[in-house]
Every structure is written in structure tokens, then in C-alpha cells.
Amino acid sequence: MPIITAARAYLVDLEVETVRTDAVQSFLKQETVFVEIDTDDGMTGTGYAYTIGTGGHAVLSMLRQHLLSQLPGRDSSHIENLWHTLFASTRATTVGAITSLALAAVDTALWDLKCKVAGAPLWQVAGGFRQAVPLYDTEGGWLHLTTDELVRGALASRDAGWGGLKLKVGKPNAREDKERLLAVRDAVGDRMDIMVDANQSMTAAEAIRRAHAFEDVDLFWLEEPLPADDVAGHVRLAASTSIPIAVGESLYSVGQFRDYLERGAAGIVQVDVARVGGITPWLKVAHLAEAFNVSICPHFLMELHVSLVAAVPNGRYVEHIPQLRAVTHGEMTIENGHALAPQTPGLGIDWDRDAVDNRRVL
Ligand code: MG
């Protein structure tokens, strides 16, 4: 029964590894909020959450001023109890992004400890479905790239053996979006999955129009076509098109996923382990989606999601978008377009402590 003796949080800024722009924003830097939890048997669990450039200080403040002081003296293996205790103590600001991200940093640290105590890797402790998971590529599809650059990136992804690639959409003119998609489809052939992402930039009416225009590109999914709180719009869109609608990166609770699934508004679930509040709620969303016969293709954070997608039977794809190479040792193992879940006990992220410390801002 490992008892928590101390818990601390700090903020690290990571430069983006690739210039990333979409229909509504640019990824400026990864604000990475770390939590470390020590136990009386001499172990330390390390967890983290992130933002793409704003709000990191608020997450850190929530942890330091309110959440972490509740941990010492508690049993680190009582993860459900700890999660709900912390959640209940922030009732006035939940459900919300800042609290979910703060909870995720604590929850992932507790799961790191749980796996280390078990002497087993996360993909096994969280479920243990398979070790290798398919990858798709995101880095060649940003909205600021020219059509020629998109095609070059797509061919590189295909030649690397990856099963799919993602392109941003949301150009002012629908025809320009479609021409970019068709150029890539023509280049890679009909065997490769092509996903598109609109980053919540459209109205329901416009998304229905563009989805209709995109039908003959044979898309694997259309991601975040509408603002995430427009569930009714997603219902109308999903009913109007054969293209699966993917949502999840902007949802912050299990209940928000339930709303989409029970109304048939999501064909792919992209639950993000940081934004939903950690591994504990992530697994609930994955199992909920399984009950609706819906696949999981999580957003970002491939270093954690490789193990989680490997843990559940309805994991379909991991997004290849490396962002921790400056602060970790080694690289994710990739074979034949598949990522291999790490086998080391814990979350499977080998932090470079000096590199992390050098980038601390608070
Ligand atoms: Mg997206």
C-alpha cells in the first residue's frame, strides 16, 4: 500500500517540432505541466498534461494552490477515489479544460506509479489488447502548405509504410480544399487512408456542403467540422454524409462523449488523455465507444496514446506527431507503419531529466 509522501508540479515550455497551422490557430509552443508524486516505498510517478500555448499557468496554479495538497497521506493505488475527490473539490470550475488538464497530470502520475508497482507496462495494465498499433501521419498536412508540398509529404508517408495521413481543410473556398484533397488522392492511390481536419471552423450548413463535395475523395474521416458544443449540428451532418465524423480533442468529460455517441453524432472518437482528465476517464470513454461499436483514434500525445490504443480492443489508429523528442531518451519504435507500445514498467516515457529541467519556466 504505497502512501503518498509528497507531490509537486512545474511548467516546462517545449518548442514545436514542426510549424503547425490549421483553420483556426497555430501551435505556438507546448506548455507541458508536470506532476511528480513520491511514495513511502521510494518510488516516484511522473505525469503530465499540455496546452498548445495558452492556459498552462492556470493549470499549474490549480495544481499548486488547490489539488496537490490533498495527496500526501493518501494511498496512491486508490486512483478512482483520488480522481473523484479532486474533481469534487473543484466543483465550481468543472467540467472545464483547466481542471481536466490538472487532473490529467495527477492521474497520469498515479498510473505511472501503478504500473511501476505492478512491474508492467501501461499497455498491459490498462487492458493488454495488442502491442503494435497502426500509425497515421499528420505532419505533412498543415493548412499553410502548398498543394505540391502536401503531395510530397503524402508520398513520403506512403513510402514510409504508414496506413494513413491527415490533411487540414478550411480554405475560404471549398473548391480549393477539394483540389488539394484530390491531388493527394491521385498521388497516393486508393489504398491509403486520408483523413481531413477542419478544426471546428465551419457552420453545419457549410460542413454539409463540403462533406458532399468531398464524397468522391474517399475520406476515412472528417474531423471537428463544427464547434464542439454544436452536438445537434454534428447529428445533422453525420446523417447527411457517408464520411465518418471524428470528434473528441475538444471534449473534456466522459459525459460529453456520451452525448455524441448516443445521438449518433460521432463515427470516430478522438479522446485526448490530457484533455479528458487522465487515463482513468480515457479508458471509460474507450469502453463506452466500444459499447457503441465506435473506434478510438486519439488526438495528439502519441507517446501516451500508443500504450492506451494498444490496451483496448477498439483502438484503430495513433496519430504520429512527435513532440517530446527534446526531453526524452530514445524514439518510439516503428515497424511497418505500426508503433510498438513500450515494454518498460510505467507510462513508457523515458524522460531526460536534465533536458526537462533546462526548459522549466516555473
Ligand atoms: Mg484535430
The residue written with cell numbers 494498444 in the block is: 310
**Domains and their CATH numbers in the chain:** 4-119+353-358 (3.30.390.10), 124-340 (3.20.20.120)
Triad 109, 57, 225: Cα angle to 5° = 85
Pick the closest to residue 176 from 222, 202, 143 (CA basis): 143
287 is catalytic: no
Please list, in sequence order, all residues whose beta carbon lies within 8 angstroms of the beta carbon of residue 31, skipping any fewer than 6 positions away.
Answer: 11, 12, 13, 50, 51, 52, 53, 54, 55, 56, 57, 59
pLDDT band at 19 (very low <50, low <70, confident <90, very high): confident
- How far, in Å, is the centroid of ligand 1 from the Cα of 354? 31
Please list, in sequence order, all residues whose beta carbon lies within 8 angstroms of the beta carbon of residue 101, skipping any fewer than 6 positions away.
Answer: 33, 49, 50, 51, 55, 59, 274, 275, 277
- How far, in Å, is the centroid of ligand 1 from the Cα of 347? 24
In this prediction, residue 153 carries a pLDDT of 95
Q: What is the bridge-based pairing of β-strands 132-137 and 338-340?
A: antiparallel
Please list, in sequence order, all residues whose beta carbon lies within 8 angstroms of the beta carbon of residue 213, skipping any fewer than 6 positions away.
Answer: 174, 175, 177, 178
Give the pLDDT confidence of 98-145 residue by residue, as tens digits. Answer: 999 999 999 999 999 999 999 999 999 999 999 999 999 998 899 999
Contact present, 123 and 311 (Cβ < 8 Å): yes
Strand, helix or coil at 351? strand
**What's the rounded Cα separation, in Å, for the pair 276 and 282?**
6
Pick the closest to residue 26 from 38, 35, 16, 41 (CA basis): 16
For the cut 80, the answer to whether the pLDDT of residue 319 exceeds it is: yes
- How far, in Å, is the centroid of ligand 1 from the Cα of 225? 9
Which residue among the candidates 114, 116, 166, 168 is catalytic per the annotation?
A: 168
For the cut 80, the answer to whether the pLDDT of residue 1 exceeds it is: no
Mean pLDDT of the chain: 96
In this prediction, residue 55 carries a pLDDT of 96
Which residue among the candidates 116, 166, 299, 320 is catalytic per the annotation?
A: 299
Grid coordinates of 15: 518548442
Give the pLDDT confidence of 259-306 residue by residue, as tens digits. Answer: 999 999 999 999 999 999 999 999 999 999 999 999 999 999 999 999
**How many other C-beta atoms lie within 10 A of the C-beta of residue 218?**
14
Mean pLDDT check: name the lowest of 29-33, 126-130, 137-141, 224-228: 137-141
Residue 83: DSSP 8-state: H
For the cut 90, the answer to whether the pLDDT of residue 23 exceeds it is: no
In this prediction, residue 25 carries a pLDDT of 82
- How far, in Å, is the centroid of ligand 1 from the Cα of 197? 6
- How far, in Å, is the centroid of ligand 1 from the Cα of 224? 6
- How far, in Å, is the centroid of ligand 1 from the Cα of 31? 18
168 is catalytic: yes
Looking at residue 253, its amino acid is: S
Cα atoms in the 13 Å half-sphere on the side-chain side of 260: 33
- How far, in Å, is the centroid of ligand 1 from the Cα of 6? 36
